[in-house]
């Protein structure tokens, strides 16, 4: 195929054994977790000590199930409502077999642990997955069509979660985080992603110029996404290997970064509103590329 960009760069589970960490019994109160919990960290908030891997607090059925199915060994603690026992049988049995503690708690305890009422009856603490550097991750990427997302300043966890969900749906190979970006997976983002956070890896970029060079060497075309002033997305050929660079909510993209990209694209609309938000725009961009580029 000609590529115009080719030359360019059940029942209640059985009771745990007496030597398991926790009994399957409802405590009067769940323990208070330090550090504000709901944003996605657990513990005292001072960060992991030497040699310790940071923990992530997840909540929501699909987010917890997806993490368990993909990396069960990362599970550290589980809290759930009594109503969720029949729905989480495989996870509870695994906890019993692997001596991972779980507690049946009241709804207000889950509210406090999650820092949210949107926990759907389950909260879990698990080890946070390390974020590889671009130089380490790129050699693992398969050849052929590939789509990446570079998030330049996206910070809202609900937008991030929606982006993760769309990225998982449309088969994005990775989400690229700028060198000093504070953006990280949180419980809120993972819940909104509905399991998508486990399907799309996060990758850390080096400084922008070096990242640009490495991505071009790997055959990628970089496309800045602009609210206005860019070429019509729907009238522009879609490169086989493409990086969409998404700007921050409100402020948009860094001008220097936009100028350094190979393409500058805008999504045409009726003009009734100024623009789509970053999560909605991302879904449109990903759907467009998926429709234009045959998948192998």
**Beta strands per DSSP E along 60-195:** 75-80, 101-104, 122-127, 146-151, 174-177
Q: Which residues of the chain have pLDDT under 70?
A: 1-52, 249-251
Residues of the chain with CATH 3.30.1330.30: 10-130
* The pLDDT value given to residue 47: 39
Q: Which sign does the torsion angle of CA 241, 269, 156, 291 carry?
A: negative
pLDDT tens per residue across span 184-193: 999 999 999 9
CB atoms within 10 A of CB 182: 7
Q: Pull the structure tokens for residue 140.
A: 């693992």
Q: What is the DSSP letter of 248?
A: B
Strand-pair category, 55-59 with 122-127 = antiparallel
What φ, ψ does residue 102 adopt, rounded to 5°? -140, 155
* The pLDDT value given to residue 138: 97
Strand-pair category, 75-80 with 122-127 = antiparallel
Pick from 204, 205, 39, 52: nearest CA to 131: 204
HSE of 11 in the Cβ direction (CA atoms, 13 Å)? Answer: 2
* The pLDDT value given to residue 240: 96
* The pLDDT value given to residue 217: 97
* The pLDDT value given to residue 255: 83
* The pLDDT value given to residue 253: 77
CATH level 2 (architecture), domain 134-292:
3-Layer(aba) Sandwich (3.40)
Q: Pull the structure tokens for residue 110.
A: 């889950």
CATH level 2 (architecture), domain 10-130:
2-Layer Sandwich (3.30)
* The pLDDT value given to residue 250: 65
Strand-pair category, 241-246 with 146-151 = parallel
Rg of the chain (C-alpha set) = 21
Q: Pull the structure tokens for residue 118.
A: 């949107």
Residues of the chain with CATH 3.40.1280.10: 134-292
Whole-model pTM?
Answer: 0.81
What φ, ψ does residue 126 adopt, rounded to 5°? -145, 165
Strand-pair category, 122-127 with 174-177 = unpaired
Mean pLDDT of the chain: 84
Number of helical H runs and strand E runs in the chain: 9, 11
pLDDT tens per residue across span 103-151: 999 999 999 999 999 999 999 999 999 999 999 999 999 999 999 999 9
Pick from 55, 56, 35, 37: nearest CA to 46: 35
């Amino acid at each position: 195929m000609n590529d115009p960009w080719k030359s360019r760069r059940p029942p209640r589970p059985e009771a745990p054994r007496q030597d398991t960490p926790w009994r399957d019994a409802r405590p009067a109160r769940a323990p208070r977790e330090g550090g504000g919990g709901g944003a996605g960290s657990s513990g005292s908030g001072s960060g992991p000590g030497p040699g310790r891997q940071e923990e992530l607090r997840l909540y929501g059925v699909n987010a917890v199930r997806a993490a368990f199915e993909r990396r069960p060994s990362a599970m550290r603690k589980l809290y759930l409502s009594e109503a969720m026992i029949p729905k989480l049988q495989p996870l509870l049995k695994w906890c019993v077999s692997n001596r991972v503690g779980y507690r049946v708690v009241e709804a207000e305890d889950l509210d406090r642990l999650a820092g949210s009422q949107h926990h759907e009856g389950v909260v879990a603490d698990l080890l946070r997955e390390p974020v590889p550097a671009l130089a380490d991750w790129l050699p693992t990427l398969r050849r052929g069509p590939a789509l990446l997302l570079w998030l330049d300043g996206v910070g809202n966890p609900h937008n991030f979660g929606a982006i993760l969900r769309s990225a998982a749906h449309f088969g994005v190979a990775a989400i690229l985080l700028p060198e000093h970006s504070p953006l990280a997976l949180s419980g809120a983002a993972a819940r909104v992603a509905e399991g998508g956070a486990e399907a799309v890896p996060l990758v850390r970029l080096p400084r922008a110029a070096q990242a640009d060079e490495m991505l071009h060497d790997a055959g990628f075309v970089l496309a800045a996404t602009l609210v206005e002033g860019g070429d019509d997305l729907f009238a522009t050929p879609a490169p086989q290997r493409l990086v969409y660079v998404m700007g921050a909510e409100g402020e948009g993209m860094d001008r220097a970064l936009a100028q350094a990209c190979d393409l500058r694209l805008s999504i045409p609309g009726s003009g009734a509103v100024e623009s789509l938000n970053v999560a909605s725009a991302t879904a449109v961009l990903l759907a467009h590329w998926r429709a234009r580029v045959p998948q192998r």
